[in-house]
Chains A and B, each alone.
Chain A
């Protein structure tokens, strides 16, 4: 039995909210694969849908300018202490879409990120390994506080919320 699994039995499970942003959804598919085979439960992670119930926020996909407010509201609604995990290239820095007019950079420009899981997408094994690292650190030091907010200023909101994807005649 691995160290994480042994500790998971001694500690109450932590709860995690998966916020799927834009992107191709590949990261979301790989994270969902972990749900399907019960491996999240095995490391002591419980998936929840309400921000109030979540200790961890797992963000995958692009945070578009029109999604940023909702992401910030989700984070604000979570109770302290809370941790943020960015999974995949899109959440990290916009990934293959980083130069697009609709994408507001990585989530770390707006919120304090505790863990980054690289990949496009990261495999389920990589996601699990990353989450284990964080869980082990949290359980080893129960009073571990989340990192301070990022120094970089947040992007100004887009002039007009983008209502519909469509012909894409707006350039960019």
Chain B
């Protein structure tokens, strides 16, 4: 029997955000998957050009909410390097702690999504509760659940709340205590193993990797929060920390870690303004793996695979 083609999207719930797929199917098996991205394109780079770095920071934080802190930090680091702006070590440690907190929340988000996709409602509920605890704590410490508008070139966009900062280690404890049950519900439970590892082992192994990363991230976050020390040492970026090389031209690269991998920003400053910007978000390479991984799967197994890869169009389309 010949192959059929099947269109999906751009309005569908396969990924986080709009995307269009064309499947070539043989019976129920996917033979080939073609991808059409770009529906979430907003022209971030075009909008950032000509802005001063502090204003552009608001924009780059909104490239992808699953890597909001990572994009803010990578951009801030590139600007800081290009304008010889020194960041106090305590502030830098706190920013790294924030990227760790973001990764914890995002891994938990993806685990919850995978669980719901696989009908594992107990695991989904556990992941959602733990994630919510992180977001509430971040809102108290940094003024925003997803830590948007939190980082700025030169340091932080606003002074963190001391009581909120002091409460963060307790949230890390809560996660550490809640993790074994989530691990059991996803990796050991026979029904979960069957559902997550049914068509392809990918969803199960991705869950295991995410759980390992959470365990690792908890330790890192704790250490970095201790390094950040007393909140009094953390000063928000202000007008006085404007780029030092006001008149010259400088190019630099900044990087930061997100749950999907490393985010890169290359920036060129001219006369203190963003003249050019290039953004690398690791979700784009993840999309490119989809065809390879989907081949041979049944069509109805595709949503689970997509959820486990943590695909989003925001970061890919920008």
Chain A residues within CB distance 8 Å of chain B: 18-26, 28-30, 32-33, 35-37, 49, 61-62, 64, 66-67, 70-71, 73-74, 95-97, 99-103, 120-121, 123, 162-165, 167-168, 170-172
Contact = CB atoms under 8 A, between A and B. Distances in A.
B65 A164 contact: no
A102 B43 contact: yes
B312 A100 contact: no
Contacts of B45: 168
A49 B40 contact: no
Contacts of B313: 22, 25
Contacts, number: 151
- What are the 4 tightest A-B residue pairs by CB atom distance, in nearest-first order? A172-B46, A26-B65, A36-B128, A22-B40
A62 B12 contact: no
Given A20-B17, A95-B62, 4 more contacts: A22-B313, A24-B68, A26-B65, A100-B44
B16 A97 contact: no
Among B13, B132, B278, find the residue whose CB has the most chain A CB atoms closer than 10 A.
Answer: B13
Nearest to A29: B65
B145 A123 contact: yes
A18 B14 CA distance: 12
B65 A165 contact: no
B316 interface: yes
A121 B65 contact: yes
B317 interface: yes
- Interface residue SS majority, chain A: loop
Contact of B17 (A61, A102, A103): A61
Interface string B1-43: 0000000001111001110000000000000000011111111
Contacts of A165: 37-38, 40-41, 316-318
Interface residues of B, number: 50
B18 A22 contact: yes
B42 A64 contact: yes
Nearest to B20: A70
A120 B146 CA distance: 10
Interface of B: 10-13, 16-18, 36-47, 58-59, 61-66, 68, 109, 112-113, 116, 124-125, 127-129, 131-132, 135, 145-146, 148, 278, 312-314, 316-318
B170 to A, nearest CB: 21
Given A102-B41, A163-B38, A26 B148 contact: yes
A162 B125 contact: no
B41 A22 contact: yes
B46 A66 contact: no
B128 A33 contact: yes
Nearest to A49: B13
A24 B62 contact: yes
B10 A70 contact: yes
Nearest to B105: A29
Nearest to A27: B65
A162 B36 CA distance: 10
Given A67-B18, A121-B65, A172 B128 contact: no
A26 B16 CA distance: 10
Contact of A164 (B17, B38, B127, B145): B38
